[in-house]
Structure 1
Amino acid sequence: MIKKIDHVVITTNNIENCISFYKKLGFTSKEMNKKYELYTGDFKINVHIKGNELSPHNKNIQTGSADLCFEINKNIDETKKYLKQNGIQIEQGIVERIGVFGKMKSIYLRNPDRNLIELSSYGE
């Protein structure tokens, strides 16, 4: 019955910092009537501002409580170099993990709200 994830929702304290961070990762952004969306590939992230969430919403809203993994389409070593060149601090990696398609290599970082972001590659 379920085909795939269409979108996830994160909550931020600072929309400008949040949007800027995800743009560095290759997302495009849209804003309409104080609704913020980030797009990449075939899914999106809806971004709620803490204290101004859309309804219905999570019962226990927290910033920094998400743990998201994104599959990348670049070499993991090139990605690590790109992150460093763009001032994005790496928390851990490159490490080997197991994803939906088997072994992958991952880099961990945090967005401005301290959510854990995993960038993973099944190649090289």
Structure 2
Amino acid sequence: MTPALASLDHLVLTVADIGATVDFYTRVLGMRAEVFHPADGSERHALVFGRQKINLHPRGGEFDPKAAHPAPGTADLCFLSEVPVADWQAHFAACGVAVEEGPVRRTGATGPILSVYLRDPDGNLIEVSNPL
């Protein structure tokens, strides 16, 4: 029998500016910033939401091991929310963040979703969705 994975613990984004990224994800998406110190003694930054986190690596100072070609702006992330997409749109407008597309119906991991798309400071595509 092939072993099975249960969930995603964290992912890594390589970013041009840690401060700008932390500001965007905390102010615009409601994540919580975290600073942590792994066994190597370095200081690292993460964004926490639900039971997941996004670890941040500064461009040119990525931590090993790392992706084969780490670069800012190469991610496409979809986040689920119980807050209605219309409320998110109003929040994004109040934050001065443009919605690039949506709301549009898409198919998520577990079924239909209603999504809006925007960009983070590095140009990563961010999708905020409601399960339908």
Equivalent runs, 1:1-124 vs 2, <5 Å: 1-24=4-27, 25-32=29-36, 33-123=42-132
Question: AA paired with 1:72?
Answer: S
**RMSD, matched Cα:** 1.0
Provide the rounded CA distance (Å) in 2 between the counterparts of 1:107 and 1:16. Answer: 24
User: TM-score normalized by structure 2?
Assistant: 0.89
1:47-70 CA deviation, whole Å, 9 max, x = no partner? 000011110001111110001100
Question: AA paired with 1:101?
Answer: T
1:40-96 CA deviation, whole Å, 9 max, x = no partner? 001000000001111000111111000110001201111111111111111111111
**Superposed structure 1 runs of 4+ greater than 2 Å apart:** none
How many residue pairs match? The answer is: 123
Provide the rounded CA distance (Å) in 1 between the counterparts of 2:84 and 2:68. Answer: 38
Q: How many angstroms does 1:14 deviate by?
A: 0.7
Structure 2 unaligned residues grouped into runs of 5+ = 37-41
Question: AA paired with 2:101?
Answer: Q
Structure 1 unaligned residues grouped into runs of 5+ = none
User: TM-score normalized by structure 1?
Assistant: 0.95
Structure number with the higher strand fraction is: 1
